[in-house]
């Protein structure tokens, strides 16, 4: 039996921590961000057994995948009647603000269920439910799973896992829109802090929540569609500064390096905009307006790499749970 899933990552631009509830499905964040068409690929192979799991590939650890299997067995005991081998391939670096733990959890859950030929709609709902619980058990991303469920450019109005069929999920509420937006993700070649270093710290939690709620206030008014793009970019820059995250972990220096690369690529005119990814030491470069300049990604990536930064082209994904 085999199942395969490719799930996109996610870039958070603004967020407000909401994790007081004892119910993991109600913990999360309000916020806004972008689903990516690069993320995690997992292939699951199963044979009759006792529920053992082995992991190959480039995953940082196997803890997340064991928890996904544990949560799936709680929903459907049949998953414990097989031994599983997972092959993990990350398309972006882990722990850099690209939502790869969420992508990995959703991808793992989807691949396991596809191996057992679970109905696709049922598998998607279960995967979101399970991945959200696993992320919170590991003090990982607060809103990445809800964002991936929505796809596109999302606005998370209420925290928690979105409401799902068959009694799954929570009370999370998310709006989204999609356009064909090319982008480049940029990261330092050194490892970053784990998300929990921020969201479990009382001082960071207060400053992030205050900044997030302030910047989300205006975004929550009116229709959420492509006409709000410039406003989202403006509010995300304000959030980085108000929260204190801009001044932490040498992020200002990183933005200066990216700005230098954009100028060296011939894009000092403001047609391309760099915004911090939360909570990594990473940046997303996006067009300031639509339609985007033509064929800009390769030359920008070359100039970023000349400055010792990692970079990859991507685009906003309409359906991050079913990339081909």
What 3-state DSSP class applies to 260?
Answer: helix
Task: Give the Cα separation of 280 and 193 in Å (integer).
Answer: 7
Q: Do residue 196 and residue 297 come from a single domain?
A: yes
Q: Do residue 43 and residue 161 come from a single domain?
A: yes
In order along its 324 residues, the chain shows pLDDT tens digits of 999 999 999 999 999 999 899 999 999 999 999 999 999 999 999 999 999 999 999 999 999 999 999 999 999 999 999 999 999 999 999 989 999 999 999 999 999 999 999 999 999 999 999 999 999 999 887 899 999 999 999 999 999 999 999 999 999 999 999 999 999 999 998 765 656 678 778 888 899 999 999 999 999 999 999 999 999 999 999 999 999 999 887 899 999 999 999 999 999 999 999 999 988 889 999 999 988 888 999 999 999 999 999 999 999 999 999 997
∠ CA(92), CA(95), CA(97), 5° rounding? Answer: 75
Partner residues linked to 3 by β-bridges: 44
- Domain boundary (153, 177, 201) is at 177
Residue 324 belongs to a domain: no
pTM over 0.75: yes
Residue 322 belongs to a domain: no
Q: Around Cβ 179, how many Cβ atoms within 10 Å? A: 15
With a CB cutoff of 8 Å and minimum separation 6, the contacts of 131 are 68, 102, 105, 106, 109, 145
Task: Give the Cα separation of 149 and 169 in Å (integer).
Answer: 11
Q: Do residue 271 and residue 256 come from a single domain?
A: yes
Q: Do residue 47 and residue 165 come from a single domain?
A: yes
The answer to whether 144 touches 100, Cβ cutoff 8 Å, is no
DSSP-derived pairing of the beta strands 82-90 and 53-57 = parallel
- Domain boundary (116, 149, 177) is at 177
Q: What is the pLDDT of residues 21-54, one digit of tens each?
A: 999 999 999 999 999 999 999 999 999 999 999 9
Torsional class of 31: left (φ above 0), alpha (ψ -120 to 50), beta (otherwise): left
Give the domain CATH number at 277: 3.30.70
Task: Give the Cα separation of 252 and 80 in Å (integer).
Answer: 48
Residue 35 belongs to a domain: yes
SS3 content of the chain, % helix, strand, coil (to 5): 40, 30, 30
Give the domain CATH number at 16: 3.30.230.10
Question: How many domains are there within the chain?
Answer: 2
Q: In the structure encoding, which two tokens stand for residue 171, read together?
A: 């009370």
Residue 101 belongs to a domain: yes
What 3-state DSSP class applies to 150?
Answer: helix
Looking at residue 124, its pLDDT comes to 98
What 3-state DSSP class applies to 85?
Answer: strand
| Structural domain that includes position 21 | 2-177
């Amino acid at each position: 039996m085999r199942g395969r899933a490719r799930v996109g990552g996610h870039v958070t631009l603004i967020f407000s921590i909401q994790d007081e509830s004892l119910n993991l499905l109600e913990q999360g964040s309000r916020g806004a961000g972008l689903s990516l068409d690069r993320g995690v690929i997992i292939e699951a192979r199963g044979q009759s057994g006792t529920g053992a799991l082995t992991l190959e590939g480039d995953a940082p650890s196997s803890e997340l995948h064991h928890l996904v299997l544990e949560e799936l067995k709680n929903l459907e005991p049949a998953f414990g009647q097989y031994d599983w081998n997972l092959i993990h391939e990350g398309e972006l670096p882990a722990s850099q603000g690209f939502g790869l733990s969420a992508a990995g959890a959703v991808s793992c859950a989807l691949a396991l269920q596809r191996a057992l030929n679970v109905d696709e709609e049922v598998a998607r709902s279960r995967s979101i439910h399970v991945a959200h619980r696993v992320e919170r058990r590991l003090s990982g991303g607060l809103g990445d799973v809800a964002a991936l469920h929505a796809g596109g450019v999302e606005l998370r109005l209420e925290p928690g896992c979105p409401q799902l069929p068959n009694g799954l999920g929570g009370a999370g509420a998310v709006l989204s829109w999609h356009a064909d937006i090319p982008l480049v993700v940029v990261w330092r070649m050194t490892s970053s802090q784990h998300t929990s270093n921020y969201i479990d710290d009382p001082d960071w939690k207060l400053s992030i929540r205050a900044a997030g709620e302030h910047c989300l206030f205006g975004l929550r008014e009116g229709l959420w569609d492509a006409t709000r793009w410039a406003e989202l970019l403006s509010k995300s820059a304000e959030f980085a500064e108000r929260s204190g995250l801009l001044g932490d972990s040498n992020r200002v220096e990183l933005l200066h390096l990216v700005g230098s690369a954009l100028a060296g690529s011939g894009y000092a005119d403001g047609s391309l905009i760099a915004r911090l990814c939360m909570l990594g030491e990473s940046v997303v470069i996006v067009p300031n307006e639509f339609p985007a300049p033509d064929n800009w990604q390769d030359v920008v990536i070359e100039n970023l790499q000349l400055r010792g930064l990692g970079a990859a082209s991507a685009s906003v994904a309409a359906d991050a749970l079913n990339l081909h």
